[in-house]
Chain A
C-alpha cells in the first residue's frame, strides 16, 4: 500500500467529530448497549417461566454441565485469541493477525458445533422441542438467538481473514477489526450470563 492510500485510510478513520471519538465505534457501542436490553428481556422471559412447565423434560433432565463447561471454555479462549489478533495487527504483524483471527473463527465454529450437538440431543434423545413446554420455548429462543449472534460473528471474522489477503486489513484500518472484536467479546459476555443463569441455576434443585 502506498503512502497516499494509507493517509486516505487514516483520514477516513479519524474524521472530525464533536466528541473527538470515531462515529463508527460510537455506533457500535450504542448497538451493543441496545443489544444488552434485547438479551436482558430474553433472559427475564426465561426466568419468569422457569419452573412453570406442566410437562417434562425439565432443565435438570437435559442439561449436561461438563459438556457446556467445555463449550464455555472454548468461547472464552476465542475472546482471548480475538484480542491477540487485534493486538498483532496494531503491531503491524499481519501474519500473526491471520493466525489469531482464524483461530477465533475456528473456536467460534466449535462452539456452534457444541450447540448443534446439544440441540440435536435435546430434540432426538430427550424429546425437548420449542413446542413441548415453556422451558423448551424460552430455552431455544434465548440460546438460539445467541447462536445466531455467534454465527454472524464467525462470518464477520472469516470475511476479515480473507479480506486481509487482498490488502483490505492493515494497521491503519485496524478500526474494522476493533469493531468485529467488540461484537465478538459482547457475544462472549452474553454467554457468561447465559451459562450461569440458564445452565447452572437451571440444574440447581432450589429453583
Chain B
C-alpha cells in the first residue's frame, strides 16, 4: 500500500465513521439528565462532604461524553486524544501543584 492510499484511507475513516444524528440526540439527553442529577444532588443536604466526589464524577462523565462523541475522539486518531488528554492531565497537575503550593489541602 502506498503512502498516498494510506493517507486517503486515514482521512476517509476520519470523515465517514462518525455517529448518526440519533446518537447525538441520545448523548444530549444523557448530558441534560446528568446536569439535572447534579443540581438535584446539590440540594440533598444529608450528603455533606460526599457531594464533592459525586459532583466531580458526574462532571467528569459529561466532560468525557462531549470529548468522545461530540469531538469525535472515540472515532478519530489516537494522536488527537493523546494531545488533548495530555493537556487535560497537565492542567490537572497544574491545579494540584498550585493548590499544594498555597496549602489548600492542609
Contacts and interface: CB of A to CB of B under 8 A. Distances in A.
A174 B15 contact: yes
A193 B63 contact: yes
Interface residues of A, number: 57
A86 B48 CA distance: 42
A206 B48 contact: yes
Contacts of B42: 65, 200, 203-204
A48 B10 contact: no
A185 B79 contact: no
6 contacts: A21-B10, A80-B28, A80-B70, A174-B15, A185-B66, A200-B39
Interface in B80-106: 80, 83-84, 86-88, 90-92, 94-95, 98-99, 101-102, 104
Contact of A37 (B6, B18, B71, B87): B87
Given A29-B83, A189-B66, A197-B59, 15 more contacts: A14-B7, A16-B4, A19-B79, A44-B94, A76-B32, A77-B28, A79-B31, A80-B27, A80-B31, A181-B71, A182-B71, A193-B63, A201-B52, A201-B55, A203-B42
Nearest to B73: A29
A37 B90 contact: yes
A45 to B, nearest CB: 7
Contacts of B48: 206
Contacts of B10: 20-21
Given A48-B98, A83-B24, A36 B49 contact: no
Q: Number of contact residues on B: which range applies? A: 35 or more
Interface string B1-34: 0011011101100110010110011011001100
Contact of B28 (A30, A36, A76, A201): A76
Given A20-B11, A33-B84, A44 B99 contact: yes
A87 B95 contact: no
Contacts of A19: 77, 79
Interface string A165-207: 0000000001000000110011011001101110011011010
A76 B94 contact: no
8 cross-chain pairs, A with B, having the tightest CB-CB distances, nearest first: A33-B87, A40-B91, A80-B28, A48-B102, A36-B87, A44-B98, A196-B59, A44-B95
